[in-house]
Amino acid sequence: MTPLGPKQHRSTPAVPATFLAAGPRPGGPARPGTEPTAAPATPKAVTPAPPRAPERGAGAVGAALRLPEAPLPPAEVERLLSGNHHDPHALLGAHLTAEGVAIRVLRPFAERIVVETGQGPAELTHLSSGLFTGLLPGHRELPDYHLHVTYPGGEPLRQEDGYRAAPTLGELDLHLISEGRHEQLWQALGSHVRELDGTLGTAFAVWAPNASGVRLVGDFNHWDGTGHPMRSLGSSGVWELFVPGLAEGTQYKYEIHTHDGRTLQKADPLARATQCPPETASVVHTSAYVWQDADWMARRAHVRHHRAPMSVYELHLASWRPDLTSYREIAAELPSYLEELGFTHVEFMPVMEHPFGGSWGYQVSGFYAPTARLGTPDDFKHLVDTLHRHGIGVIVDWVPAHFPKDDFALARFDGEPLYEPADPLRAEHPDWGTLEFDYGRTEVRNFLVANAVYWCEEFHVDGLRVDAVASMLYLDYSREGGAWTPNQHGGRENLDAAAFLQEMNATVYRRCPGVVTIAEESTAWDGVTRPTDSGGLGFGLKWNMGWMHDSLVYMSKEPVHRKYHHNDLTFSMVYAYSENYVLPISHDEVVHGKQALVAKMPGDWWQQRADHRAYLGFMWAHPGKQLLFMGQEFAQGAEWDHEQGPQWWVLADDWPAAPDHRGVRELVRELNTVYRATPALWEQDTVPAGFSWLDGGAAEDNVISFVRFAADGSPLVAVCNFSPVVRHCFRVGLPPTGRGEQLWEEALNTDAADYGGSGIANSHPVKAEPTPWNGQARSAELILPPLATIWLRPAS
């Protein structure tokens, strides 16, 4: 794919001369994003050409007087030039001394620097390796000044001195960072274009408490950080630097000097934009997007998801339509498709930047940046905005469970375990070859909590589906005995992870009204969706992995054998109200040899499609919200391939089975239409009053029947026949309609001819007779189509 974000994929960026900080590097500049991740501990000293004498008639700058030196202790110079100085601002910039004002400037490869004050120009003296100094005698105040820097063969360039700037982070920011309570961390750390004392530039800040020094490298200094050392802001572990002249689109990394003498180049953990992979540099970004979804956001704040319809379409953005290569192109197609099919929400597999496309986004390297493969952060905002204006909520998959070991990213960020635990038994994730987060460290927890808030506040996403929660909650997850360290009580529970999830949920729900958090949690951990003030983890919803597994086991059996597995179909109602559930048929169920949903069904093509349709009818009627992965809405026959995407061609006129696939898609559209219009199917999903069995024990017939109730008592009856035979005169108990005549009509029939079925139906309203059945005072004899689900509602 060709990403459309121009600033992310240019290979040789044009660097305006006004903010060049270094001359041509010997051997040519490194290709951005491919610079080495390790270098010698002490860079080789660079001795530029001797300064030229002022030329006659060269003007005020050319005729500047040379200032006396303002020397520094050799040890300080060595630390500064080697990148190991914790406070370069104490040496560089302008400083009052007993003799006057000392000005020191570090410009590797420069041959001459002139400082211009209100009293005129004066030339600095070159000491060594690009360090220039000068003393303004007799000055008792720090003057306003700027620099004229000349590189070999070039004209003087006017530059501002970033080392005269005060720290760009205040005491409150540093206090909140140290306490792990900075809920808008992205506004303090990372890169920010801003104006300081009338000078426009970019402020950089990074947390690296174990570093002995940090320097800034990028396309503006040919990836040589000698001239851009950062200062440490005390015990906070934060390093910062303001660079005048740097603007939107600048590519950069942090050069971390470790205590054991190594030099690492790391992407910014809080970068809001990145180069397009496989390039790995961070990119300075300032959003110019103007949101147009105010009405949606106002309505969202009052939504109670437990009592609202939620039908979710899950997709992988890069492969949903491989011919659409940007967020904006997808925004032109996806909202209308979802609107036509009636889905209330879309769930994106992770959109955060990730180095390996084959991870589907689940190995994140840039937690604060939408992937540049499809465009810029503002392009992604446009996609979300467009979906909102079409009435579609946006859920994104969020992955705080682990991160990859790539050298440029979070792993051993400052040379020591930082974002990961120091204990290797806790750091290594055995399933994916990744590293787990150290949830017990306040700054790491803050990084993640703020990240969850960031996506909700900055990108207006309506929900976070948290991936791999079970792997976070258990210290022995996928680990054999002896390969894990118990908690302080000797147990297997990761108490730090549980506390982190509670904090994340509480913070998101407090700051972002109407947002829902959803846990992919596959164990029986108690209270996943219980409020945090009642001891729960605080999620709004939880994926019902048990329902998914058991019901698919049942559907995979030949109908003649299903009676022996009837419990797999009904067991979910035993625990249906232990949590607030989503019923997921997700990407995980249609990859890695598990087959597409329709291919899981036994029998010939007709039977497979009939089972597929009947199952969807059962799923939409079952208590819980529902989620369906792309391609399953039209019963594609192959597993999902992240490089090929869904098999859209099976819907084309020239495909022999196109009417079959279109029929399934039409059923999904009708399921969503009736679902959204029927409060009985969603208003009481999470309370027992919303459901009652009619007959959950007709195993010999492969039939189940139940009633769903709205808050006002309005009923909807669902009857599922998972047998390939038509059942005539099948008596089913029916609850009171709440009306005079006890008449019922089909609201939906998955065997309808429009959906590719046989067209067998209860074509006229059915009258409930005063014959007690299934615990009801009235009942009726129905026709049950083969391998089908029917919904009945009181006749209008």
Distance CA 750, CA 788 (A): 5
Please tell me whether residue 325 adopts helix, strand or coil conformation: coil
Tokens 């017939």 locate to 701
Whether the CB-CB separation of 736 and 744 falls below 8 Å is answered with no
Q: What gap in Å lies between CA 380 and CA 318, rounded to an integer?
A: 13
Distance CA 216, CA 510 (A): 36
| Structure token pair of residue 632 | 């399953």
CB 80 within 8 A of CB 71: no
Rounded-to-integer distance, Cα 343 and Cα 337, Å: 9
746 carries an active-site annotation: no
Work out the burial of residue 183: count CB atoms within 10 Å of its CB; fewer than 13 is exposed, 13-18 middle, 19 or more buried.
Answer: middle
- Check if 467 is active-site: yes
Residue 38: other Cβ atoms inside 10 A: 11
Return the CA Rg of the chain.
32
Give the dihedral sign, CA 378/379/380/381: positive
C-alpha–C-alpha distance, residues 675 and 623, integer Å? 12
CB-based contact 752:759 (threshold 8 Å):
yes
List 268, 420, 443, 467, catalytic entry: 467
List, in order, residues 6 or more apart from 727 with CB less than 8 Å away.
701, 703, 721, 783, 784
Q: Among candidates 744, 730, 745, 747, which has minimal Cα distance to 781?
A: 730
Catalytic residue among 520, 579, 670, 683: 520
Eight-state DSSP code of residue 45: P
Number of H helices, E strands in the chain: 17, 38
Q: Find the helix or strand (DSSP H, E) in which 469 lies.
A: helix 469-473
Q: Are 468 and 520 in contact (CB under 8 A)?
A: yes
Query: Is the bond into 278 cis (omega within 30 degrees of 0)?
Result: yes
* Residue in this structure with the two tokens 């945090």, named with its chain if needed: 532
Give the separation between CA 11 and CA 32, rounded to whole angstroms.
7
Q: Give the integer Cα–Cα distance in Å for 350 and 316.
A: 8
- Report how far residue 524's alpha carbon sits from residue 469's, in angstroms, rounded to the nearest whole number: 12
DSSP 55: P
Left, alpha or beta for 595 (phi > 0: left; psi -120 to 50: alpha)?
Answer: left
Strands of the sheet containing 190-196, edge to edge, are 190-196, 199-207, 238-244, 231-232
Q: List Cα–Cα distances, 456 to 129, 437, 626, 658, 671, in angstroms.
A: 47, 21, 22, 40, 29
| Other Cβ atoms within 10 Å of 769 Cβ, number | 14
Nearby residues of 172 by Cβ (< 8 Å), 6 or more positions away: none
* Alpha carbons 179 and 766: distance in angstroms, whole number: 66
Torsion of CA 506, 511, 512, 513, to 10 degrees: 80
Q: Measure the CA–CA gap between 16 and 28, rounded to whole angstroms.
A: 18
| Angle of the 545-556 helix axis to the 605-621 helix axis, nearest 10 | 150
The answer to whether the CB of 321 falls within 8 A of the CB of 333 is: yes
Active-site positions read 467, 520
